[in-house]
């Protein structure tokens, strides 16, 4: 039921300030690419912060779609996974998961590990050509001993947008560590071999020592036919037992949140120092637009007018690129900084 | 530990760059040359060290 007013319980939860624990839940930011074809690897392929984790469960065309959207909801993008090569008979250990990892420093207000642990509500719009039962899993990655729980949702009608809402209890026993590591992971299982789905029943409350085969019981195999696809957008995870309207952020606010984990320069960076002499290094420091989660891994591409190109992280705020001049034009390259969870 | 990404690391070598000695590890990861900082919070660095500990990867000394 749509909310018509803010009630007292929501105010005392957290209705002011940012509500959505996810970044880029509306798939607005896609720094790396907007589509990639026939992928079989685990990576952040298109939309920022959302990772496709594939263990031999078909190959996929992954894109940020701009045309298949829930009508009237105000979303401009969805994440689309389109089966390119099917795997109708998964091996036991095969899986396909779409997920986001959340830093522990952004989870402390959930008060997990205390008697005041907050409920969490997950809401999202989803659509698929394949109907049936799907699993969402919540994973507390505390190094003292992780705990997980799974919940199911049903896609009832093929090729039709449906809004799903899932509420889970807080865990009073195990907290989220106050670190910049991945402390809460939310998995959308899309295919799961028997290693993950062969148990008798789904592990649907916070538990440690969970048998792997109870994590995705009932999950359909989205990889079983090349006509299968899966779309999702409007993904929100928030404190409380109600799904509030999707939190809208401006493009630049959302981009800045994403750039804590991945940044690429807009085209090539020109290295200073050209004109001194050949065979000496020229260098450019690039101040990052926001503090990155950790010192980033740095790479380059589109190198020109130099040799011995190198890059590196100076800090969480600064990277550099350098090259040996060739004394005919300024050395330059495009730079990438990665500090994903 | 959650389902992680097992990186295909085909080479790793400590790198003395222009900003200092042993400033990073120059690694070829999934076919791409990357400069990985010696930062335990960096997931590439962690994966390199995990593979080193597992005995499946050796980091060469810097030139």
Tokens of A89: 């008979």
CA distances from A290 to A201, A257, B63 (A): 44, 8, 33
**A103 interfacial to chain B (CB closer than 8 Å):** no
**A42 interfacial to chain B (CB closer than 8 Å):** yes
A281 contacts in chain B (CB < 8 Å): 18
Domains of chain A (ranges; CATH) run 8-258 (2.60.120.260), 262-338 (no CATH)
Considering only alpha carbons, which residue of chain B is nearest residue A281?
Answer: B18
pLDDT digits (tens, 9 = 90+) for A136-161: 999 999 999 999 999 999 999 999 99
pLDDT at A278 over 90: no
Please give the Cα distance from A8 to A246 (Å, whole number).
19
pTM > 0.90: yes
What does the pLDDT read at residue A10?
60
pLDDT at A101 over 60: yes
B36 contacts in chain A (CB < 8 Å): 297
Neighbour order of strands in the sheet with A182-192: A51-55, A95-103, A182-192, A132-140, A147-155, A207-208
What does the pLDDT read at residue B17?
84
pLDDT digits (tens, 9 = 90+) for B7-47: 999 999 999 988 777 789 999 999 999 999 999 999 999 99
pLDDT band (50, 70, 90) for residue A328: confident
**A86 interfacial to chain B (CB closer than 8 Å):** no
Residues 6+ apart with CB under 8 A from A154: A131, A132, A133, A134
Please give the Cα distance from B13 to A210 (Å, whole number).
39
Percent of chain B with pLDDT over 70: 98
What does the pLDDT read at residue B5?
74
pLDDT at A16 over 70: no
pLDDT at A13 over 70: no
What does the pLDDT read at residue B20?
78
Please give the Cα distance from B62 to B55 (Å, whole number).
20
**B23 interfacial to chain A (CB closer than 8 Å):** yes
pLDDT band (50, 70, 90) for residue A259: very high
- The three-state DSSP-derived secondary structure of chain A is CCCCCCCHHHHHHHCCCCCCCCCCCCCCCCCCCCEEEEECCCECCCCCCCEEEEECCCEEEEEEECCCCCCCCCCCCEEEEEEEECCCCCCCCCEEEEEEEEEHHHCHHHCCCCCCCCCEEEEEEEEECCCEEEEEEEEECCCCCCEEEEEEEEECCCCCCEEEEEEECCCCCCCCCCCCCEEEEEEEEEEECHHHHCCCCCCCCCEECCCHHHCCCCCCCHHHCCCCEEEEEEEEEEECCCCCCCCCCCHHHHHHHHCCCEEECCCCEECECCCCCCCCEEEEEEECCCCCCCCCEEEEEEEECEEEEEEEECCCCEEEEEEEECCCCCCEEEEEEECCC
What does the pLDDT read at residue A308?
92
Contact check, Cβ <8 Å, B5/A53: yes
Kindly state the average pLDDT of the residues A196-222.
Answer: 97
Contact check, Cβ <8 Å, A299/B3: no
Please give the Cα distance from A236 to A239 (Å, whole number).
10
Handedness of CA A89, A91, A92, A96 (dihedral sign): negative
């Amino acid at each position: 039921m749509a909310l018509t007013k803010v009630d007292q319980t929501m105010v005392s939860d957290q209705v002011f300030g940012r509500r959505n624990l996810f970044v880029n839940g509306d798939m607005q930011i896609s720094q790396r690419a907007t589509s990639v074809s026939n992928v079989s690897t685990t990576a952040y392929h298109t939309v920022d912060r959302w990772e496709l984790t594939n263990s031999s469960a078909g190959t996929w065309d992954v894109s940020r779609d701009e045309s298949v959207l829930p009508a009237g909801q105000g979303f401009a993008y969805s994440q689309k996974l389109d089966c390119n090569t099917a795997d109708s008979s998964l091996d036991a250990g095969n899986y396909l998961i779409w997920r986001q990892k959340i830093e522990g420093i952004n989870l402390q207000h959930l008060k997990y590990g205390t008697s005041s642990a907050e409920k969490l509500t997950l809401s999202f719009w989803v659509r698929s050509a394949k109907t049936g039962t799907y699993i969402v899993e919540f994973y507390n990655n505390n190094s003292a001993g992780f705990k997980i729980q799974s919940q199911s949702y049903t896609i009832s009608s093929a090729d039709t947008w449906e809004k799903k809402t899932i509420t889970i209890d807080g865990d009073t026993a195990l907290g989220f560590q106050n670190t910049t590591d991945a402390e809460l992971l939310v998995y959308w299982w899309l295919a799961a071999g028997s290693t993950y789905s062969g148990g008798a029943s789904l592990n649907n409350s916070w538990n440690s020592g969970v048998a792997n085969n109870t994590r995705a019981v009932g999950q359909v195999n989205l990889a079983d036919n090349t006509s299968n696809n899966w779309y999702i957008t409007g993904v929100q995870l928030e404190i409380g037992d109600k799904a509030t309207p999707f939190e809208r952020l401006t493009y630049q606010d959302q981009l800045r949140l994403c750039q804590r984990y991945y940044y690429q320069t807009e085209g090539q960076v020109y290295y200073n120092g050209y004109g001194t002499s050949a065979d000496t290094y020229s260098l450019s420091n690039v101040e990052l637009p926001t503090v990155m989660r950790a010192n980033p891994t740095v790479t380059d591409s589109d190198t020109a007018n130099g040799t011995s190109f190198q890059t590196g992280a100076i800090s969480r705020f600064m990277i550099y690129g350098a090259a040996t001049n060739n004394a005919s034009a300024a050395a330059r390259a495009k730079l990438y900084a990665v500090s994903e969870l | 530990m959650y389902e992680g990404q097992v990186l295909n690391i085909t080479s790793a070598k400590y790198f003395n760059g222009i900003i200092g000695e042993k400033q990073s590890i120059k690694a070829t990861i999934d076919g791409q040359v990357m400069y990985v900082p010696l930062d335990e919070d960096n997931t590439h660095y962690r994966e390199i060290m995990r593979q080193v500990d597992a005995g499946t990867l050796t980091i060469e000394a810097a030139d």
